[in-house]
C-alpha cells in the first residue's frame, strides 16, 4: 500500500507544511500540489468544494506525492466515509467537543474491529493500492479540531482516544469561544495560553499538533512552539494577496 508521507515525516521528527484548498478546481489543486507543500487539505467545511469537486481535485494532487487531506464539513460519518473512499489519507474534523465526539470521529475513519467505517474504497483502492483495506487503519491520519471551550475542558479526554493521531487548532472558532472574536495569528494572552496548552498536551502524549495560520511568520513561531503540522493561508487568499500586490505596484507606477 502507498505509504502516508505525513506519518513518515512525523516519525522522523519533522514538521508537515500543509496547504489549504478553498478553490473547487482541479487545476488550482494541481498548481498548489506543485508548489512544495507536504500535504494539501480540501476544505468541505467553509470552502466551496463539495463531493463533486473532491475527486478531480484528488486526481490533480495525485500528479505529485503530496498527501491528500480533507476537512469534513462536520463530525458526520457519512461524509467522512466518502472522503476516505475517494482516497483522502487524512481527515481533519471540525468542532470536536469532547471524548465522545472524538471516539465517533476516529471510529468513522477505521474499519472494524477498530471502528465502524463501512467497506467500499472505490478510489482509495486506486490511490492506495489493492491492499488498501488491510493497511488503511494504520495509514489514514485522524486530526480532531480543538476550537471550542468544551474541547479545552475535555482536552485530555480527547487526546486519550485510541486511534486519534493529532489535534488541529482553529484560531477563529477558538477565539469566538473565548470571547475574543474570530481571526488568525492570535496574540491575546488567553489565546496564547490555550494554544500553548493544546500543543504541549498533545505532544506530551505522543500526538501530532497542527494549527491554521495566516502568515509564514506566525507559522514559523508555531513550529518553534512545537507544532508539527502548520497550515499557512489558503489558495484563494494567496491568489488574492499576490494579485492585489501586483496590481497595486503597477497602479502606482502608471503615468497620471
Q: Which residues bind Mg ion (CB under 5 A)?
A: 147, 170, 173
By beta-carbon proximity to ligand 3PY, the closer residue of 105 and 212 is 212
Number of residues forming the site for ligand 3PY (CB under 6 A): 7
CB 230 within 8 A of CB 16: yes
| Residue 171 binding target from ligand 3PY, Mg ion, none, CB below 5 to 8 Å by type | ligand 3PY
Which residue's Cβ has the minimum distance to Mg ion? Answer: 170
Residue 110 CA: distances (Å) to CA of 9, 136, 160, 178, 244: 22, 7, 16, 33, 44
* By CB under 6 A, residue 47 contacts ligand 3PY: no
By beta-carbon proximity to ligand 3PY, the closer residue of 28 and 176 is 176
Q: Give just the sign of the alpha carbon dihedral 104, 204, 37, 127.
A: negative
Q: How far is the CB of 231 from ligand 3PY (least distance, A)?
A: 8
Among 171, 199, 208, 213, contact with ligand 3PY (rule: CB under 6 A): 171
List Cβ neighbours of 158 (8 Å cut-off, separation of 6 or more).
96, 98, 99, 101, 102, 144, 146, 151, 164, 167
Between residue 82 and residue 111, which ones bind ligand 3PY under the rule CB under 6 A? 94
By beta-carbon proximity to ligand 3PY, the closer residue of 45 and 201 is 45
Is residue 34 part of the annotated active site? The answer reads: no
CA 24, CA 86: separation in Å to the nearest integer?
16
Q: What is the β-pairing status of strands 166-169 and 141-146?
A: parallel
Residue 213 CA: distances (Å) to CA of 119, 143, 174, 198, 236: 35, 16, 13, 15, 14
Q: Which three cell numbers stand for residue 44?
A: 468541505
Among 103, 165, 173, 235, contact with ligand 3PY (rule: CB under 6 A): 173
Q: At what angle do helices 235-253 and 26-33 cross, to 10 degrees?
A: 80
* By CB under 6 A, residue 132 contacts ligand 3PY: no
Which residue's Cβ has the minimum distance to ligand 3PY? Answer: 170
Q: How far is the CB of 212 from Mg ion (least distance, A)?
A: 8
Q: Which three cell numbers stand for residue 86?
A: 475517494
CA 44, CA 42: separation in Å to the nearest integer?
6
| Residue 212 binding target from ligand 3PY, Mg ion, none, CB below 5 to 8 Å by type | ligand 3PY
CB 1 within 8 A of CB 129: yes
Among 212, 218, 227, 229, contact with ligand 3PY (rule: CB under 6 A): 212
Active-site residue set = 46
Residues of the shown chain interacting with ligand 3PY in the complex, contacts defined by CB under 6 A: 94, 147, 170-173, 212
Amino acid at each position: 500500500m502507498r505509504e502516508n508521507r505525513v506519518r513518515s515525516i512525523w516519525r522522523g521528527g519533522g514538521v508537515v507544511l500543509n496547504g489549504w484548498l478553498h478553490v473547487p478546481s482541479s487545476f488550482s489543486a494541481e498548481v498548489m500540489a506543485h508548489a512544495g507543500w507536504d500535504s494539501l487539505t480540501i476544505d468541505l467545511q467553509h470552502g466551496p468544494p463539495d463531493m463533486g469537486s473532491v475527486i478531480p481535485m484528488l486526481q490533480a494532487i495525485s500528479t505529485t506525492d503530496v498527501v491528500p487531506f480533507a476537512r469534513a464539513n462536520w463530525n458526520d460519518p457519512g461524509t467522512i466515509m466518502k472522503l476516505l473512499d475517494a482516497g483522502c489519507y487524512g481527515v481533519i474534523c471540525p468542532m470536536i467537543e469532547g471524548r465522545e465526539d472524538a471516539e465517533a470521529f476516529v471510529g468513522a475513519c477505521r474499519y472494524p474491529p477498530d471502528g465502524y467505517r463501512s467497506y467500499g474504497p472505490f478510489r482509495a483502492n486506486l490511490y492506495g493500492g489493492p491492499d488498501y483495506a488491510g493497511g488503511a487503519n494504520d495509514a489514514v491520519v485522524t486530526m480532531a479540531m480543538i476550537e471550542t471551550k468544551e474541547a479545552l475542558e475535555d482536552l485530555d479526554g480527547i487526546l486519550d482516544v485510541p486511534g486519534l493521531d493529532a489535534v488541529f487548532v482553529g484560531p477563529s472558532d477558538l477565539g469566538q469561544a473565548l470571547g475574543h472574536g474570530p481571526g488568525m495569528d492570535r496574540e491575546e494572552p488567553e489565546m496564547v495560553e490555550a494554544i500553548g496548552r493544546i500543543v504541549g498536551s498533545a505532544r506530551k502524549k505522543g500526538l501530532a499538533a497542527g494549527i491554521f495560520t495566516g502568515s509564514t511568520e506566525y507559522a514559523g513561531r508555531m513550529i518553534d512552539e512545537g507544532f508539527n503540522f502548520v497550515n499557512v493561508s489558503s489558495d484563494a487568499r494567496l491568489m488574492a494577496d499576490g494579485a492585489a500586490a501586483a496590481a497595486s505596484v503597477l497602479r502606482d507606477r502608471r503615468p497620471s
